[in-house]
Amino acid sequence: MCGIVGYVGSQDSLGVLLGGLKRQEYRGYDSAGVAVLSNEGELVMAKKAGKLQMLMDNLTAHPLASGHTGIGHTRWATHGAPIDVNAHPHLADDGRLALIHNGIVENFYEIKAELTARGHEFVSETDTEVAAVLLADNYAETGDLRTAFARTVNRLEGAFTLLAMHANEPHLIVAARHNSPLVIGFGDGENFLGSDVAAFVEFTHRAAAVGQNQIVAITPDSVSVTTFAGEPVVPEEFDIEWDASASEKGGWPSFMAKEISENPDAVANTIRGRIHDGMVVVPEIDAFGPDFLSGVSRIILLACGTASYAGLVGSYAIEKWAGIPVDVQLSHEFRYRDPVITPSTLVISISQSGETMDTLMAVRYASERGAKTISICNTQGATIPRESDAVVYTHAGPEVAVASTKAFVAQITALYLIGLHIARVRDTVPEALLQHSAQELSDLPAKLAEVLSVGDEIRTLAKWMSDSQAVLFLGRNVGFPIALEGALKLKELAYIHAEGFAAGELKHGPIALIDHGQPVFVIVPSPRNSAEMHSKVISNIQEIRARGARVIAIAEAGDAAVLPFADEVIRIPLAGPLFEPILAVVPLQIFAMELADAKGLDVDQPRNLAKSVTVE
């Protein structure tokens, strides 16, 4: 989850490192640190617990010497509390070697015991310092950083990306990747490393992903990649599709506010190039061929958190259109339940970063058992897409706020595209319905832009609810996953109890939670297309109103039947039943943001969370 950046070149490395850390702080903000090889050949370091600004303030008060080689780190704590001494980088070899780490070294205790027995001492509680001391121990034997580094990473178990440098070899950074992300940035007389391309997008758009169990060595003029066994590798280069300005606030009060405003663009970019002559065609999955898609007997959607709720929404649509049973499974549970997988099983993973460790391991498990795999992802060069048989990129642009917004609507859109593509290949629904659904997708960006206008109304609502201790969310059918997502956003951002329920489940237990004044959001289905469900949801509203609940309804424009029973009504534009959830979730995103803001909380960096979960 931590953010890593490395630089060798002619620029002052500190500026490059801090810029890279700022653009990656969503990966972890428990502490931050940098190490620089100064122009005088000395390794200098600064690190500080807390957000990156704490480190920057410290560097203003106590500047580091200038240098052209350096590494930087922003931390999400695993081993050891988020205090100064546990922050990265960690030093060894009498302060001449610096190392940073993203992941978990699972056999650190065993290695630490061996090193302690040989007389080495430790100052932190981290597994990372163990790796640094082990590297120093190997360097003392070999005198060569590349050789010592290869020996070190072959000893480690778990998940790790490591970057290291040594004062004796001042224009060299070595790095390794095992079950944790790492990308290379190629420059002119300079080269970069990072957890993702945000680390260096300000300076270059040329990048390559480092593969599993590979070692990288960068100097100002060279990049070499080998396997852990020492075999040379030629990395596959790609162009970064966005620039540094896309990861800046651009005048918005928060990244989350900016990214909610980008919901229309996220959907438009996901659709672009995938509707031809009024029909959905997803070229990326054409490689499977009609025979395989026609013979798919089961689809499994793998995801965690917000992405799993996108999967739940998508499952309704895919089953309806393609006529294939769809299971949505949490990635971290999937491979431990001995799932039934056959050659006719299609596994679709959903991950904004493409590095979610639970999902990656589930995809590998499915592939090993013969399933075809598709990745829905927003990040070029990420691991899950590279290890899948096909990838459908959402092209939503960088999402910096930790709580996902535009990625969620883009993921649902991608699932709908896949569902309509498979339905067309299998000929399971009339062509007119396929064309109508493609048009519904095309209309979504404009409708999402219209939904964004409810911001002022929701801001007022959030202010009077800022002292709420619990909020409930109800929905039926495709509205149920939206209720779950609305509750998750509130938990993530406002730190209050929030639960999402299937509305029909209410009287089977959860209605006991209803007390006088209890706020309840209700996702109301359309009375035009879902009359039976609409009447049942109205009945649910009456049941909770009778027990004192305060009801906030998310309902389509013109729905008059809801007015007598709701305390507040937030309107969304008219859309087909399967397309309503993409519109209905936006007011809930805005509400969670505004309520957190009303409580004085940081909506971009909520406590205990990080954007990309790269450890199990």
**Residue of 47, 406, 489, 611 marked active site:** 611
> Mean pLDDT for each consecutive 10-residue tract of the chain (616 residues)?
92 95 87 95 95 94 95 89 93 97 93 95 94 97 97 95 97 95 95 93 94 96 96 92 77 93 95 95 88 95 97 98 97 92 96 93 95 94 92 92 96 98 96 97 97 89 90 96 97 95 88 89 92 90 90 95 93 96 97 95 89 65
What is the residue whose two structure tokens read 């499974």? 329
- The CA distances from residue 149 to 9, 42, 61, 77, in Å, are 21, 20, 34, 24
Torsion of CA 341, 344, 350, 354, to 10 degrees: 80
CA 421 to chain centre: 26
> How far apart are alpha carbons 514 and 537 in whole angstroms?
16
Q: Residue 427, Cβ neighbours under 10 Å: how many?
A: 12
What are the angstrom distances between the C-alpha of 245 and each of 73, 102, 261, 400?
22, 26, 16, 12
CA 45 to CA 219: how far, in whole Å? 20
The pLDDT score that the predictor gives to residue 533 is 87
Q: Tokens representing 518? A: 């209890």
Token pair, residue 327, equals: 């299971």
Q: Is 2 a catalytic residue?
A: yes
What is the DSSP secondary structure assignment for residue 26, as one 8-state letter?
Answer: G
Q: Helix, strand or coil for residue 12?
A: coil
Contact 247, 198 (CB under 8 A): yes
pLDDT at residue 615 in the model: 61
Q: Residue by residue, what is the 3-state secondary structure of 32-44?
A: EEEEEEECCCCEE
Rounded Cα gap, residues 11 and 192, in angstroms: 12
Structure tokens at 78: 């695993």
Question: Is 197 in a helix, a strand, or coil?
Answer: helix
454-598 to CATH, choices 3.30.499.10, 3.40.50.10490, 3.40.50.1820, 3.30.70.3190: 3.40.50.10490
Termini Cα distance of the chain: 10
- The answer to whether the beta carbons of residues 581 and 313 sit under 8 Å apart is yes
- Specify the pLDDT at position 616: 64
Question: Could you tell me where the DSSP H helices lie in 211-349?
Answer: 255-261, 263-271, 283-286, 289-295, 305-322, 331-334
* Pick from 347, 348, 349, 346: nearest CA to 357: 349
Closest CA to 43 of 96, 101, 100, 99: 96
In the beta sheet, which residues pair with residue 350? Answer: 376
Convert the pLDDT of each residue in 441-491 to its tens digit.
999 999 999 999 988 889 899 988 888 999 999 999 999 999 999 999 999
Is there a contact between 385 and 378 (Cβ–Cβ < 8 Å)? no
- pLDDT for 409 equals 98
Tokens of 442: 């095309």
> What does the DSSP assignment read for 100-148?
EEEEEETTHHHHHHHHHHTT----SS-HHHHHHHHHHHHHHHHS-HHHH
At a CB cut-off of 8 Å and minimum separation 6, what does 326 contact?
298, 299, 300, 301, 314, 315, 318, 319
Q: Give how far Cα 232 sits from Cα of 139, 180, 200, 216, 235, Å.
A: 22, 20, 25, 10, 10
* Secondary structure (3-state) at 304: coil
pTM of the model: 0.88
Backbone angles phi, psi at 528, to 5 degrees: -75, -45
Q: How far apart are CA 190 and CA 222, in angstroms?
A: 8
How is 444-491 classified by DSSP, letter by letter? HHHHHHHHGGGHHHHHHHHHHTTT-SEEEEEE-TTHHHHHHHHHHHHH
From the list 553, 539, 356, the residue with the least C-alpha distance to 458 is 553
Residue ranges of the chain assigned to CATH 3.40.50.10490: 255-429, 454-598
- The b/e string for 10-20 (b: 16+ C-beta within 10 A; e otherwise) is eebbbebbbbb
Q: How many CB atoms lie within 10 A of CB 93?
A: 18
Class of residue 62 by CB neighbours under 10 A (exposed 0-12, middle 13-18, buried 19+): exposed
Fold (topology level) of 3-247 = Glutamine Phosphoribosylpyrophosphate, subunit 1, domain 1 (3.60.20)
Architecture of domain 255-429: 3-Layer(aba) Sandwich (3.40)
CA distances to 30, 285, 307, 308, 351 from 420, in Å: 43, 12, 20, 20, 20
609 CB-contact burial (10 Å; exposed 0-12 / middle 13-18 / buried 19+): middle
List the structure tokens of 528: 């035009």
- Residue 594, SS3? helix
DSSP, residue by residue, 143-160: S-HHHHHHHHHTT--EEE
Residue 286 has a pLDDT of: 84
Is 372 noted as a catalytic residue in this protein? no
Q: DSSP letters of 496-561?
A: SEEEEEEGGGGGGTGGGG--TT-EEEEEPPPTTT-HHHHHHHHHHHHHHHTTT-EEEEEEETT--T
Cα 408 to Cα 263: distance, rounded to the nearest angstrom: 9
Q: Where in the chain is the domain with CATH 3.60.20.10?
A: 3-247
